[in-house]
Amino acid sequence: MSAARVDGQGVMADVKVRFAPSPTGLIHLGNVRGALVNWLFARRHGGRMLLRLDDTDRARSTTAFADAIEADLRWLGLHWDEIARQSDRLARYAGAAQALREAGRLYPCYETEEELGLRRLRAAGGGPQPYDRAALRLDDAARRALEAKGRRPHWRFLLEAGEVAWTDGIRGPVIFEGASLSDPVLLRADGSPTYTLASVVDDIDFAITHVIRGEDHVANTAVQIQLFRALGAVEPPAFVHFPLLTDAGGHNLSKRLGSLSVGVLRDEEGLEPMAINALLARLGTSDPVEPMASLEALVAGFDLSRFGRASPKLDVEELRRLNAPLVHAMPFEAAAPRLAALGLGGIDAAFWEAIRANLSRVADARDWWAICREALAPSGGERDFLAAAADLLPPEPWDARIWGAWTAAVSAASGRKGKALFMPLRLALTGREHGPELKTLLPILGRARAEARLRGGTA
């Protein structure tokens, strides 16, 4: 990787970031936040984003999950500039591991997970203990004896002593002591690479300038900085670690549990992608969370320095509050294919304009379509008043002026005003106490249906 060039704001030129999900489950909003922050940062600085599918876990990675991840990102508008799959690069990782062996930085270890667990339990102090490097004390004869018993080694990276330091884009100066870190496993016993090796090799090969990810990777970064240098990188990328989201109860989000997955929020909750983007782009920052019509609007005001260190809580109700204004502002041209997919292809522009201000989700249009086009249970009271109102209905054609003219005539005949006038009419015509303005809804209902409902029918 070439030396980084820095512009006047301290941001590297030729910015390139990556979003690197594992296709072992559906992505949830914590994952999406990582993708969004990387995408916004890249676009803000004229850079590029790599989608890297970390699919070396052969037992759990599936094509179905990979396809779902790509579909979710496309739906959110987070289009990547390049894509890579780690399963296509296994030979490259093997070559990097061989180079580390030849440099004396990769050594074989034969302990089983059970043996390592018992060793940790016996360790004093109670806290996490670095690997004791017992494997380095094995001679060739001891290794051959273990292998004769069927032991297959995993391979660890030999860390150097001394400080590992970097200036984090959110956390500021970070320092780790090499002696407190455990030599990481880079190759499993079956020869497959771990995340640590594959990720660093990819970041080098794809010229990643900024690694922007959750704070659960901070300790990984200390290890990876040494690995970057051992593999010949002139300068590691800049590192940024943002705090992880929690749910409303303060619990971590988990894709294995399916919590707050994009698919659920899209298909079951009926949320708009920009409701999700608007919340996740501002959550945990000093900026207000507000409805945003486009990703471009988010790009213009995006600044990593506004992210704080506290773990923000994700409230699904806030997503719903952001969703409604987006639906209210949605033009019919954007809504039409969505309505057709819901089986509501009969809705035209006039109907959409009449109801959209009363919807929280596009799918809520079903309710008003049913109210206006299907049989409605008769209103329970005010029969004489409603029958008299029906007698005063003007002939068609109707437009938005009919409601005012008709209610003025009903008011003059009955002496009613305000709620006493309007509420019985609304209940009879729609069965609801609240809803779209009846001046726009009445022409959609039509005279025959309106009269039947006023006279107690089920039209």
| Tens-place pLDDT, residues 47-102 | 999 999 999 988 899 999 999 999 999 999 999 999 999 999 999 999 999 999 99
pLDDT digits (tens, 9 = 90+) for 305-325: 999 999 999 888 999 999 999
pLDDT at position 113, please? 84
Which residue, chain included where needed, has tokens 């970057």? 228
pLDDT tops 90 at residue 2: no
Compute the mean pLDDT over every residue in the chain, rounded to the nearest whole number: 91
pLDDT at position 400, please? 92
Q: Give the integer Cα–Cα distance in Å for 35 and 213.
A: 9
* DSSP annotation string for 59-92: TT--HHHHHHHHHHHHHHT---SEEEEGGG-HHH
272, 326 contact by CB (below 8 A): yes
Q: What is the mean pLDDT of residues 326-331?
A: 97
73, 35 contact by CB (below 8 A): yes
Indicate the pTM of the whole model: 0.88
Nearest alpha-carbon partner for 110 in 82, 144, 81, 84:
144
Q: Give the integer Cα–Cα distance in Å for 168 and 212.
A: 10
Q: Give the integer Cα–Cα distance in Å for 153 and 7.
A: 46
Retrieve residue 183's tokens. Answer: 């030599």
CA atoms within 13 Å, Cβ hemisphere of 105: 21
pLDDT tops 90 at residue 250: no
CA 285 to chain centre: 17
Q: Give the integer Cα–Cα distance in Å for 36 and 42.
A: 10
pLDDT digits (tens, 9 = 90+) for 350-393: 999 999 999 999 999 999 999 999 988 887 788 999 999 999 99
132, 119 contact by CB (below 8 A): yes
**Percent of the chain topping pLDDT 70:** 93
Retrieve residue 34's tokens. Answer: 């990582």
User: 98, exposed or middle or buried, with CB in 10 Å at 0-12, 13-18, 19+?
Assistant: exposed
Enclosing H/E stretch for 107: strand 106-109
| DSSP annotation of 180 | G
Please name each of the domains of the chain with its CATH number: 1-103+165-175+191-328 (3.40.50.620), 332-373 (no CATH), 383-454 (1.10.10.350)
Beta strands in 195-287 (DSSP E): 210-214, 238-242
pLDDT at position 256, please? 46
pLDDT at position 31, please? 93
pLDDT digits (tens, 9 = 90+) for 235-246: 999 999 999 998
Alpha-carbon dihedral sign for residues 178, 179, 181, 186: positive
pLDDT at position 128, please? 64
Q: Which residues pair with 213 in a beta bridge?
A: 241
pLDDT at position 68, please? 96
User: 133, exposed or middle or buried, with CB in 10 Å at 0-12, 13-18, 19+?
Assistant: middle
pLDDT tops 80 at residue 443: yes
pLDDT at position 164, please? 95
Nearest alpha-carbon partner for 236 in 249, 250, 226:
226
Q: What is the mean pLDDT of residues 330-338?
A: 96
Give 395's contacts (C-beta < 8 A, 6+ positions apart). 447
Q: What confidence tier does 5 reach under pLDDT thresholds 50, 70, 90?
A: very low
Q: Give the integer Cα–Cα distance in Å for 42 and 365.
A: 37
